[in-house]
Structure 1
Amino acid sequence: MPVLRSSPPSPFGRKAKIAAAVLGLKDRIAVEMTDTTDPSDTIRAQNPLGKIPALVLDDGRVLFDSRVVVEYLDHLAGGGKIIPAGAARFDVLRLAALADGIMDAAILQVYEVRFRPEDKRHPDWLAYQGEKVTRALAALEAETPATVAAGTLPDAGQIGLACALGYLDLRFDGTWRAGHPGLVAWLEAFEAAVPAFTDTRFTG
């Protein structure tokens, strides 16, 4: 059985777990807790970058990062389920890339505070990353993605966006919600339509 190396707070790991759930693969993937800050954790041997998620296949090969893992899961489920073929594929991948960018910028802000002493932090760097998130949210509010209807599969871009907004709720106290009513409504609809979003919420 393939093993997904992940950690509950990781929005990228959450993306892979939601993808597995909506594709009907949850019972075919084992999830293994990972501590990327622990030098003795085997993640550094499995993924030279030491990052999660990483999917350890039955033959020992390891797939990373989340974009590759999600595409593999889609392939495992028969293909074209959450990453469509043809021209529509690029709309989905574009949204997925924007969501990944939000998560990257948000995580960099968290790490700047978590790993640097206060006198070594760079306010300009924090502001630079924060502006990425601000611009991305403004663009998404102006052109909100299609709502996920109950009984339909979300695509990879929608899954990524939900995880990005969930991470902003977790680490930034949901301050993004002010001024983005369209995205708030979109996320509420996603949560109602995709039970895996609630099932993968970090509560620690």
Structure 2
Amino acid sequence: MLILRSSPFSPFGRKVQIAANVLGLGDQIEVVAADTADPRDSIRRQNPLGKIPALVLENGQVLYDSRVITDYLDHLAGGGRIIPTGEARYAVLVMQALADGILDAALLAVYEKRWREPDMHAPKWLAHQGGKMERGLAVLEETTPAAPGAIPDVGQIAVACALGYLDLRFEGEWRSQHPRLVEWLDDFSVKIPAFAATRPA
């Protein structure tokens, strides 16, 4: 049994769980909650960065981060399932990188408000991260990802998780300016049941 160290609120952990589900590997993975803020949590030994997600293999080896883990899961499922081979591979990986970058900026903005006292918030820093999110969303709106099939690619999964996280932490503010992305996410939600199943409670 593989062990996924994650949190219900981690968009990167959610990406891994959706990937495992659409690849038919969900029953081979046990999800074990990790508290990255707790120095006693074993996540700091499993991943020296103390970050999630981390996938503990049966031989004890640990894989991190989500891009490495999803690549491994695709390999485990036979390869070329959520990460294409050949030239098509790079467009999918770039889409994943863009979605992950939006998430990185969103998380930094959330952490700024969560970990620093209100009078210590840095508006310039928050604006810098907001700009990354806005530019990334603008590109996704303009080049809207293709509608997912029964097995979405890892870029599509990453985009869905990024948008889901913006709904969770930023009250869906992105929606009013990105109607094509809203329509795309609605379609993804219908076609990929794992998206709803992994939505944070």
TM norm structure 2: 0.99
| 1:67 alignment counterpart | 67
Q: How many residues align?
A: 201
The runs of 5 or more residues in structure 1 that have no matched partner are none
| 1:93 alignment counterpart | 93
Cα deviation 1:60-91 (Å, max 9, x = unaligned): 10000000000000001011000010000000
2-structure distance, mates of 1:156, 1:167: 16
Give the counterpart letter for 1:178 in structure 2.
S
Give the counterpart letter for 1:191 in structure 2.
S
1-structure distance, mates of 2:77, 2:32: 21
CA shift, 1:148, in A, is: 1.2
| 1:155 alignment counterpart | 153
| 1:39 alignment counterpart | 39
Alignment RMSD, CA only?
A: 0.5
Give the counterpart letter for 1:194 in structure 2.
I
Aligned partner of residue 178 in structure 1, secondary structure: helix
2-structure distance, mates of 1:33, 1:43: 10
Cα deviation 1:132-165 (Å, max 9, x = unaligned): 000011111111010114xx21000000000000
Aligned partner of residue 30 in structure 1, secondary structure: strand
| 1:132 alignment counterpart | 132
| 1:193 alignment counterpart | 191
CA shift, 1:179, in A, is: 1.2
1-structure distance, mates of 2:143, 2:2: 37
Q: Displaced runs of 4+ in structure 1, greater than 2 A?
A: none
CA shift, 1:53, in A, is: 0.3
Percent identity (aligned): 63
2-structure distance, mates of 1:57, 1:153: 24
Aligned partner of residue 55 in structure 1, secondary structure: strand
2:168 equivalent to 1:170: yes
2-structure distance, mates of 1:40, 1:116: 23
| 1:120 alignment counterpart | 120
CA shift, 1:119, in A, is: 1.3
| 2:110 alignment counterpart | 110
CA shift, 1:118, in A, is: 1.0
The runs of 5 or more residues in structure 2 that have no matched partner are none
TM norm structure 1: 0.98
1-structure distance, mates of 2:144, 2:121: 34
